[in-house]
Amino acid sequence: MIRTRLEAGDLQVGDQIEIDVVGQLAFSDTFAVASGRVLSLPGLPDIPLQGVLRSEAQDYLTKQLGRYIRDPQVRVRTMIRLSVFGSVGRPGFYQIPADVRADDAIMAAGGPAADADPKKVFVRRGTTEIWPRDALVDAMRQGLTLDQLNLRAGDELVLDPRKRPGGMNFFTVLGALGGVISSVYFFVRVF
């Protein structure tokens, strides 16, 4: 993972970069990494991000903007597009700052459910578990950031996947059944 990261860089299509350029409002905003791993800023040629690590983003963008602006003062914060699923308050997709800890990413998704087992947490990339439960729990205890965990866009942070907050109950089943019956009645009457 580390070799690939060093060659390709961290920033993936869909990640976001918060940029603050002192005195330059046009360049001070949150921008998405575009197709081809480039950053498109208003009125400038695309800035290639292939091979750029998140930890290098501020220096790299300062140098790139220095080609068009005299002595730019640039602050950069990179975001990772992650999925947070399992026993969390609001499972879904989030743009999370790369410099936050993994437990902060869980909090961004509404925090753990009351009955979630914090030892049942892992990171999956596609179908591969890249941070198994014990290793991720240990990394979280150490306070590693998402960047230090080598996470990238599309990774899934999963907390206690067998539990589902707000699971099925009588009224949920009754509502679903009512929806199915209504749909069948509608189609029978129309056709």
Cα–Cα dist 21/15, whole Å: 19
Q: Three-state DSSP class for 142?
A: helix
Phi, psi of 168 (to 5 degrees): -65, 140
pLDDT digits (tens, 9 = 90+) for 76-103: 999 999 999 999 999 999 999 999 999 9
What domains sit in the chain, N to C, each tagged with a CATH number? 2-78 (3.30.1950.10)
Q: Residue 55 pLDDT > 60, yes or no?
A: yes
135 Cβ contact list (under 8 Å, min separation 6): none
* pLDDT for 136 beyond 50: yes
| pLDDT at residue 123 tops 80 | yes
Q: Per residue in 25-54, pLDDT tens?
A: 999 999 999 999 999 999 999 999 998 999
Whether the pLDDT of residue 169 is over 50: the answer is no
H/E element holding 64?
A: helix 57-65
Q: How far is the C-alpha of 185 from the C-alpha of 23, rounded, in Å?
A: 63
